[in-house]
Amino acid sequence: MDRLSTLTTMEEAFAHFIHTYPDYTRTGFLDDLRRSDYARLDRQQHIYLDYTGGGLYGESQLHQHMALLSEGVFGNPHSQNPTSLAMTRLVEQARAYVLEFFRADPSEYEAVFTLNASGALKLVGESYPFEEGSRYLLTFDNHNSVNGIREFARRRGAAVTYVPVTPPDLRVNPDRLFQALDAAPAGKPNLFAYPAQSNFSGVQHPLEWIAQAQARGWDVLLDAAAFAPTNRLDLSRWKPDFVPLSFYKIFGYPTGVGCLLARRAALQKLRRPWFAGGTITVASVQADDYHLAEGAAAFEDGTVSYLSLPAVEIGLRHIAGIGVENIHTRVMCLAGWLLDSLLALRHRNGAPLVRIYGPTTTEGRGATVALNFYDPQGRLMDFRRIEALANREKISLRTGCFCNPGAGEVAHGLTREEMTTCFVDEYRMSFEHFLTCLQHVDGKSAGAIRVSLGLVSNFADVYRFVQFAARFLDTPAEEIGK
Ligand SMILES: Cc1ncc(COP(=O)(O)O)c(C=O)c1O
């Protein structure tokens, strides 16, 4: 694609897009859905490009949920009275549907409701039987809520090992990974964690790693929080031990509910560090003892967000009605065009406007694209300034490190020494301080811009973003937005 073709009218660009990505036409019904169920987006002229941050809900989901709540009388499911039993039925129905949606056999998998994906990860971290000599292995491009498990692991004497991702694709070198997997300490509980899709680069790591790691003695935690919204996660085919998810990322509403999908056998290995209301069959003050409940109940502390759970089923049925495969096709067509168009943007002197962190084709990636803008002299444009300019046009982007520091460090060429320099002071450092520190190190940045597509993304969204980007052509970094 040449420089001009990204700067044509939307109609011309769309014709070119359809010619290059004809599969998009099969997803036209999503345009109708956007007009009916998500009309507020266009009514308010929003260009929403932060689906990896949070998905969007359709109005029909709200109506169905509100109708249910308006008509029903629901009590806390821990009781045995009629209103409680009515609620229990809906909670268990939602739980069963979560398993069905992910094609998980209920005799093999449990669904534990949590606050969010981080809540699911914390459950695994605090309960996994790490011990002296065992290992926690993880890829560089994990979300912080997966990185954080290393603190539990170390405290219990486990070794923590990271497998790096390598630029420019930010994928893992399989030789390095298998070297690490082959070194599983024998007879110890060892946990391997990786994202099915990186929330930084959009890289999709092979799901084949799950069985390959398990065959080498690892329990596998597959972080599917950024993957599940636009990809089929089929647990009848892939059998990770633990899968954390946040539902709002898949269908927008409700927030405050996630889940841990766990193989029953893996769940039994976990040792909870405490008990709480709802997690026990009995507990005694005087006997100073307790018995944990079976299965998922042992992991749901206190009262689950019970009124929200029917909305989880409504949301999943909404997605099932659309078809995850259709969402996938649509976002990948758009992502392909977005990548082609951004890469085609060149300053008059031939220098590229955009540097993409991660794969530059749609091969082995999802529709999350991390990038920075550079001026004709190759100087970085401040992503905070770009965000401020985007905000003015109601373009919702994400900037910063997206809670994924490892991928960012590699993408920005930051070394261990440079990172350590910024951690010498004991004081509580803000991200702003951190950026300033890195700029002093070597004029480097620790942040980027992230564009992520989802359920009702359309051509106009990506077209407008490319038009927005093209405005920075031939502009010195210090001049942007002036
Ligand atoms: C890959 C990945 N894992 C985990 C999380 C944590 O999700 P939550 O903030 O909902 O707990 C996120 C959120 O962005 C994510 O993208």
**Average of pLDDT values for 376-401?**
95
Nearest CA, atom 2, ligand 1: 225
**Average of pLDDT values for 369-393?**
96
| Distance (Å) from CA 165 to ligand 1 centroid | 19
From the CA of 115, give the closest atom in ligand 1.
Answer: 11
For residue 246, name the pLDDT band (cuts at 50, 70, 90). Answer: very high
For ligand 1, whether the C-beta of 127 sits within 6 Å is no
**Average of pLDDT values for 468-472?**
97
Nearest CA, atom 14, ligand 1: 53
482 vs 55, residue with greater confidence = 55
From the CA of 402, give the closest atom in ligand 1.
Answer: 14
What structural domains and CATH numbers belong to the chain? 4-58+323-479 (3.90.1150.10), 63-321 (3.40.640.10)
For ligand 1, whether the C-beta of 246 sits within 6 Å is yes
The 10s digit of each residue's pLDDT in 73-89 is 999 998 999 999 999 99
For ligand 1, whether the C-beta of 225 sits within 6 Å is yes
Nearest CA, atom 12, ligand 1: 225
Candidate from 121, 143, 398, 452 with most ligand 1 atoms within 8 A of CB, to mutate:
143
In angstroms, the CA 230 to CA 323 distance is 10
Give yes or no: 401 in active site: no
Catalytic-labelled residue, pool 259, 333, 401, 403:
403
> The whole model's pTM is what?
0.96
| Distance (Å) from CA 229 to ligand 1 centroid | 12
439 vs 404, residue with greater confidence = 404
What was the pLDDT predicted at 434?
A: 76
Is the per-residue pLDDT at 267 higher than 70? yes
Q: Are 372 and 354 in contact (CB under 8 A)?
A: yes
The 10s digit of each residue's pLDDT in 313-335 is 999 999 999 999 999 999 999 99
**Average of pLDDT values for 88-94?**
98
Q: Are 349 and 377 in contact (CB under 8 A)?
A: no
Least confident of 3-7, 296-300, 406-410: 3-7
What was the pLDDT predicted at 135?
A: 98
What was the pLDDT predicted at 437?
A: 73
For ligand 1, whether the C-beta of 117 sits within 6 Å is yes
For ligand 1, whether the C-beta of 199 sits within 6 Å is yes
Decide: residue 43, CB within 10 A, 0-12 exposed, 13-18 middle, 19+ buried. exposed
The token pair at 431 is 């991200």
Decide: residue 31, CB within 10 A, 0-12 exposed, 13-18 middle, 19+ buried. middle
The 10s digit of each residue's pLDDT in 411-436 is 888 888 888 878 877 676 777 777 77
The 10s digit of each residue's pLDDT in 157-213 is 999 999 999 999 999 999 999 999 999 999 999 999 999 999 999 999 999 999 999
Candidate from 147, 223, 243, 253 with most ligand 1 atoms within 8 A of CB, to mutate:
223
3-state secondary structure the chain: CCCHHHHCCHHHHHHHHHHHCHHHHHHCHHHHHHHHHCHHHHHCCCEECECCCCCCCCHHHHHHHHHHHHHCCCCCCCCCCHHHHHHHHHHHHHHHHHHHHCCCCCCCEEEEEECCHHHHHHHHHHHCCCCCCCEEEEECCCCHHHHCHHHHHHHCCCEEEEECEECCCCEECHHHHHHHHHCCCCCCCCEEEEECECCCCCEECCCCHHHHHHHCCCEEEEECCCCCCCCCCCCCCCCCCEEEEEHHHHHCCCCCCEEEEEEHHHHHHCCCCCCCCCCEEEEECCCCEEEECCHHHHHCCCCCCCCCHHHHHHHHHHHHHHCHHHHHHHHHHHHHHHHHHHHHCECCCCCECEEEECCCCCCCECCEEEEEEECCCCCECCHHHHHHHHHHCCEECEEECCCCHHHHHHHCCCCHHHHHHCCCCCCCCCHHHHHHHHHHHHCCCCCEEEEECCCCCCHHHHHHHHHHHHCCCCCCHHHCCC
For ligand 1, whether the C-beta of 114 sits within 6 Å is no
| Distance (Å) from CA 20 to ligand 1 centroid | 33
